[in-house]
Structure 1
Amino acid sequence: MRLNSFDDFTALKEVVLGSADGYADRIHDLSFDMFISDNLSGAKGYYPSISEWRPSQERDDRNEPHRLALKKRFLEELIEDVEGIADSFRELGVTVHRPLALDPAATDVTTPAWSASITPPLNCRDNTLILGDEIIETPPTLRDRYFETQFLKPVFMEYFRQGARWTTMPRPMMTDASFDPANLTSAAPNIEVPLDPQASPYDVGLELMIDGANCLRLGRDLIVNISNANHALACDWLERHLEGRFRVHRMHKLTQSHIDSVVIPLRPGTLLIRNERVLDYLPQSLRGWDTIVSPSPSVDDYPQYENDDPIPASPYIDLNVISVDEQTVLVNDACKTLIRTLEDRKFTVVPIRHRHRRLFGGGFHCFTLDTVRAGGAENYLD
C-alpha cells in the first residue's frame, strides 16, 4: 500500500517493527547522558538513579563495556517479546515490516569526528517521522544510532517506489560542541554528565537534533516538544519544510525529549496522560479533550535486576502504548491497573508481553513506525 500516516489512532494497516537482534551493550557518552538525563534521578524516590548503579568511586570507569553489558538471558527474552509483538499485529490484520539484520561484525559507528558502539534498530520510531505521504529521517540525538535508518532502507525504498516522498534532515557533525547543555542544568541538576567536553576540529556549534518521538501527530497538525536549542533548530527546519502542508505547534519542555510516555492520543477527543500537569503544556485546543490519567507505577511493577544493571528508561514506560484503531490499544500485560482503567473507558485492550522495558528502554510505540493508517489530514485542533 502507499505510505499514508497522519496520526496514531486511526485504523492501522501497515507498521515497521524494530529488531533487538544484536543488542549487546550500552556505552555511555555525552549524547547518551543528555538523552536520558530526565530519568537519572529516578521518580518520586522509588527508583534507583543511574548514579546509584555503582559506588561513586567507581563512576569514572563507566565506559568500560563489561560494566554495562546486558545479560544474554535478558536479551533473548527481549527478542522473544518483540517477535510476540509481531505475531500480535499479524493476528490483528496488520502488515508488519522489519529492518535489515545487524551484521554481528558491525560493532562500531565511526565518523571523522567520533566513534561509538552500535545498537540495532529496535526503537525505530525515534529517527524517522512519517507525515502523510512523506518519510522524514530526523537528525539523530544519539551517536550510537547515527546510521540507524540505514537498516530501514529496503522498507523506505518500497514506499518510495509506490510514490512516497522521502527526505533526510541535515545530519549533525555531533561533536561535543553540537549539544545544547541547557536541559541538563535547568531540568536535571543532579545528573552525572561529562564535565569537560572536548574541542574538535569538526566543531560547527549548536546543530539540529531531534527525534520523531518528540512529536505528536494529529492530522494536519504537528506538536513538537522543544527542550533545548537543538530541538528548536530542528523545529525551525520542520516549519519551513512543512509550510502550507502542516501546522507546526511548539510545546516547550513538557519533557526533555520523547513525549510518547507522557501524552498519548487514543482517539479524537481522548488523551492518555501521565498526570494532570501535562495539560498545562499542551496547545489550548487540546486542553479541552477528555483525559485518562495513568495510574502511578510502583517499583513492584517491574523486574528487579542484580549486579547494578543500568535502568535508563522512565518508570512510566508502560504508557508507551500503540493503538490499532480508535477502540483497540496494545498494552503491556503486566500493567493490570492501566488495562482496567482503559477497559473502564470502553477501550478494547490487547495485553502484550514486554518484560525488560526499563532495562533496554522502549515500549510498543517506540518499537514501531506506523506507515499506513486510514486517517488523513484532519483538523483535530479546530
Structure 2
Amino acid sequence: MSVTTSPTDAGLAGSSGPEVPTVVSSWNEWDPLEEVVVGRADGACFDPAEPGYRPQIRGPRAPGETFPVGPKSAETIRRANEELDNLSALLADRGIVVRRPDVVNFDHPLRTPEFDVPTQYCSVCPRDVVITLGRQVLEATMSRRARYFEYLPYRRLIRDYWNRDPRMIWTAAPKPSMADDMYREEFWELTQEERFARMHEFEFCVGQEEPVFDAADMTRMGRDVFVQESMTTNRPGIAWLRRELEPRGLRVHPVHFPLDFFPSHIDCTFVPLRPGLVLTNPDRPIKDEDATFFTKNDWRFLDAPEASSTNDEMPKYCQSSRWLSMNVLSISPDTIICEDSEVGVHRLLRAEGFEVITVPFRNVYEFGGSLHCATWDVRRTGECADYFPHFGPG
C-alpha cells in the first residue's frame, strides 16, 4: 500500500522552535510503543443501572438474583490487579515506560443538578476515557453517569505530561448534562426483531441533542481517525470531534456496523494491526459504503476466529461480549500482546507473521475490557503518515 508522510505534520505537532522533549506523541495503534498508562482495579464498583446502561448477569442465575450494587469484592479486585501488574511488568521488561492512574475509591454517590447515581465505576480502562491524537491528549465527554468523573484518576499524569512537554495540547471535551431527556430509554425495550428492522437508523440509547463520545469509539490510523456511531458516541459527538481535530489537519470518519445491535467501543469490532491490515469481527461487518474507503486504499480485512468462550461462558458480571478476544495491544508493527486463552487469535496472528506475546487477563474482563481497553498509549515512535492517499470518490 502507498504511505506518505502528511504535509500537515508541522501544524499537527505544534510550532517549530528550539528542541524540546517529546513526551506525548502517538499517531496510530501500531507504531513502537514507548510510554503507556495501564489501569488499576482498586476501589472499583459494579456498574449501576442508569438510562444509558442496563447491566445484566450472564448465564444461569438463582431465583430472584439481581445484578450486584456497590463495591466489587476484595478478591475480585486482587485477581484483576495481579493481571494488570503482570502486564505492566511485561511492558517494562520490553523497555516501555509504564505509568498508573491514582487510586480512587469509586464507592461514593454522585449527584449533579440533573442526575444522581449510587456509586461510580472504576479506573481499569483508561482507553475509554482519554486518547492521544498526535501531540494532543483529549478527555472524552463520556456517556454514562457513573463515569462522569472517571478522568480524575488520570489528571495528575496529564498535568505532568503537560508540564514536561510544552508542545502538548490538552483538551477536555464539554461535559453533557446526562439528564433524563438526553437518553432514549425505550431503546432497552426493543425486541431483537425490532432492532434488526431499525439497524440502519443507528439510533441507540443516547439521543442526538448533546455531543457525546467515549474515547474508545475512536481508532487512529495516522492522519485519519475513525469513529464508531454507537450507544456511547452519537452524531453530535462526531461533529464535535470533526470541528476539534480537522483544523489541525486530521480527517475524521464515522464508521458503522449495522449488525451490532448494542455497539459500544470499536476495539472489539474493528482493530487496525499495522498499515494495510485490520482485524475485523465476523459477526459485525462494516457497512459497505464505509468499507469502500479502505479497500480502494489497499487495506485488507482479516476476520477474527471464534473466541475461546461463548457469550454465556464469559465471567458472570462481565458486560463485554466474547469478542474481547479481539481486544489486543500492538506494541510494534510486528508484535502483539493477546489474552492467554484466546488461542485462535494467537494462531491467526502468527500466520500473518506477528510475534504474539500472551498474558492471562480474563480476571480483568469483568471490569469492562481486555488489553487494549486497559491501556492508554502516550508515546509511540513515528510521525503522522497518510495511509489513505485515495481520499476522494472513485
Q: Which moved more, 1:204-213 or 1:337-346?
A: 204-213
Number of the residue aligned with 1:93: 95
Shift of 1:180: 4.2
Judge conservation of contact 1:314–1:358 (CA < 8 Å) in 2.
no
Gap runs ≥5 in structure 1: 41-47, 192-203
Cα deviation code 1:91-139 (max 9, x no counterpart): 11110111111147x5222222222212221111112122111111111
For 1:225, give the aligned amino acid. Answer: Q
CA RMSD after TM alignment: 2.9
Q: Which runs of structure 2 are paired with 1:216-231 in the superposition (5 Å)?
A: 216-227=219-230, 231=234
Number of the residue aligned with 1:247: 251
**Residues 1:112 and 2:116 are matched in the alignment:** no
Cα deviation code 1:45-77 (max 9, x no counterpart): xxx858x6565xx48xx57627xx644433211
Partner of residue 131 from structure 1, selected from 124, 130, 133? 133
**Residues 1:321 and 2:333 are matched in the alignment:** no
For 1:241, give the aligned amino acid. Answer: E
Measured in 1, the distance between the counterparts of 2:312 and 2:74 equals: 19
Shift of 1:299: 3.2
**Length-normalised TM-score, structure 2:** 0.80
Judge conservation of contact 1:317–1:357 (CA < 8 Å) in 2.
no
CA distance 1:228–1:101, shift in 2 (3 Å)? closer
**Length-normalised TM-score, structure 1:** 0.82
**Residues 1:172 and 2:180 are matched in the alignment:** no
Partner of residue 16 from structure 1, selected from 37, 42, 61? 37
For 2:271, give the aligned amino acid. Answer: I
Gap runs ≥5 in structure 2: 1-21, 196-206, 390-394
Number of the residue aligned with 2:217: 214
Measured in 2, the distance between the counterparts of 1:167 and 1:214 equals: 17
**Residues 1:354 and 2:361 are matched in the alignment:** yes
Judge conservation of contact 1:139–1:170 (CA < 8 Å) in 2.
yes
Q: Which moved more, 1:268-277 or 1:161-170?
A: 268-277
Counterpart of 2:279 in 1: which secondary structure?
A: strand
Judge conservation of contact 1:179–1:230 (CA < 8 Å) in 2.
no
Judge conservation of contact 1:216–1:224 (CA < 8 Å) in 2.
yes
For 1:111, give the aligned amino acid. Answer: T
Judge conservation of contact 1:25–1:65 (CA < 8 Å) in 2.
yes
Percent identity over paired residues: 25
For 2:114, give the aligned amino acid. Answer: A
CA distance 1:94–1:65, shift in 2 (3 Å)? same
Q: How many residues align?
A: 347
Counterpart of 2:320 in 1: which secondary structure?
A: coil
For 1:101, give the aligned amino acid. Answer: V
Judge conservation of contact 2:58–2:314 (CA < 8 Å) in 1.
no
Shift of 1:21: 0.8
Cα deviation code 1:131-185 (max 9, x no counterpart): 1111111111111111111111111112212121111111011012112458657
For 2:225, give the aligned amino acid. Answer: L
Measured in 2, the distance between the counterparts of 1:167 and 1:313 equals: 28
Counterpart of 2:252 in 1: which secondary structure?
A: strand
Partner of residue 234 from structure 1, selected from 198, 214, 237? 237
Measured in 2, the distance between the counterparts of 1:323 and 1:367 equals: 13
Measured in 2, the distance between the counterparts of 1:205 and 1:275 equals: 29
Judge conservation of contact 2:314–2:322 (CA < 8 Å) in 1.
no
Which runs of at least 4 in structure 1 moved beyond 3 Å after TM superposition? Answer: 52-55, 69-72, 180-191, 227-230, 279-283, 298-305
Shift of 1:16: 1.0
